[in-house]
Amino acid sequence: MEIGVDSFAAAMSNNDSGTNLSSVKSIHYLLERIEHADQVGLDVFGIGEHHRKEFLDSAPTMILAAAAARTKRIRLTSAVTVLSAADPVRVFQTFATLDLISQGRAEMVVGRGSFTESFPLFGLNLQDYDELFSEKLDLLLNIRENETVSWSGRFRPALKNQAIYPRPLQNPIPISIGVGGTPQSFVRAGTLGLPLMVAIIGGETHRFRPLVDLYREAGRRAGHPPEQLKVGLHSIGYVAKTTQQAIDDFYPGYAENFTKIGKERGWPPVTRAHFDAQMNKQGALIIGGPEEVAEKIIRHSDALGGISRVSFQMDNANLSHAKLMQAIEILGTQVSPMVKEKLGVQKS
């Protein structure tokens, strides 16, 4: 199992003074965290894509390219690329370039996005939400497969015998589908034989098992081998030296940020009772000391019928850079070896 971190490049606050750090400092600290994740042996680091004031990840491949120059082995991925609002030709070109810079460590997770700011920003109709993604995914996979492409669709000008460069070092460059809770998204990924990254940010993880089963069954019916149908988990998580310290560090910022998002989406305010419910053995949050976190990762894997990757989203709780660095250190030096030992997987 691969263990990693996903970041939305949150504009950080100075926890001592309560003031916001500059965007320059926030990006600088983020690159330090990616470099540290590489040094402590984590497998993957992902950068999301948002077009909001509180996040600095509107151009994630720029951040990943900067990280590629500072790292040696960690895989670098999007988390996720909002393909519905992008040109698949440019998406492929930027990730192919990232793959060359990183000497074959680039990946992309593509999805429709849970925030919708990119649609008006790029002149798109939200009513075309799913059709945009389906068509653009078709073109992206066509480009990955063929150096010269002929293609036509509804939302983008046609291509006729058009060569697309550069080509990535990896052939094929890995592409996964990022999904939430929509059944047809799971079926689509399975039918295409693409790996799946499931974002579970609330509820109980085992409730997603029927959707994962849909994915695997769709893949089987399409003739894809089981080992190709990999399932990864994107989860809100955090690790500290003890579970109590992890809770004390994480809860205040988590409650503040998710209550703010909830106002936009019609969710009720986050309460401590809600948080504690997510902390139980079946709850989605992976927060605690090293032993507790390792055990919960394995429980989540069992609940979903086996997962190949788990990525922690930690920077949504107003944590300081120092605490995030410590969490990355514990993930790499304690949690990851524990999980791999328990699963009988030797670290490469």
Distances (CA, A) of 28 to 40, 63, 67: 19, 10, 10
Residue 264 — very low, low, confident or very high, per pLDDT cuts 50/70/90? Answer: confident
Whether 347 has a pLDDT exceeding 50, the answer reads no
3-state secondary structure of 228: helix
Cis peptide before 183 (omega within 30 of 0): no
Q: Is the pLDDT of residue 28 over 90?
A: yes
pLDDT at 346: 42
pTM (predicted TM-score): 0.94
SS3 242: coil
Flag whether pLDDT at 117 surpasses 70: yes
Check residue 261 and give its pLDDT. 83
Residue-wise pLDDT tens digits, 52-108: 988 999 999 999 999 999 999 999 999 999 999 999 999 999 999 999 999 999 999
> For residue 335, what pLDDT band results from cuts at 50, 70 and 90?
very high
What size, in residues, is the chain? 348
16 band by pLDDT with thresholds 50, 70 and 90: low
Query: What does pLDDT average to over the chain?
Result: 94
pLDDT in tens, 171-210: 999 999 999 989 999 999 999 999 999 999 989 999 999 9
> pLDDT by residue (tens digit) across 216-260?
999 999 999 999 999 999 999 999 999 999 999 999 999 998 898
Q: Is 163 helix (H, G, I), strand (E, B) or coil?
A: strand
pLDDT given at position 71 = 98
Mean pLDDT of the region 285-292: 97
pLDDT, position 14: 67
Q: How far apart are alpha carbons 163 and 169 in whole angstroms?
A: 17
Strands 175-179 and 75-78: unpaired
Banded pLDDT at 322 (limits 50, 70, 90): very high
Mean predicted confidence (pLDDT) in 321-341: 97
Per-residue pLDDT for 319 more than 70?
Answer: yes
The three-class DSSP label of residue 196 is: strand
User: Does residue 149 register a pLDDT over 60?
Assistant: yes
No. of helices (H) and no. of strands (E), the chain: 12, 12
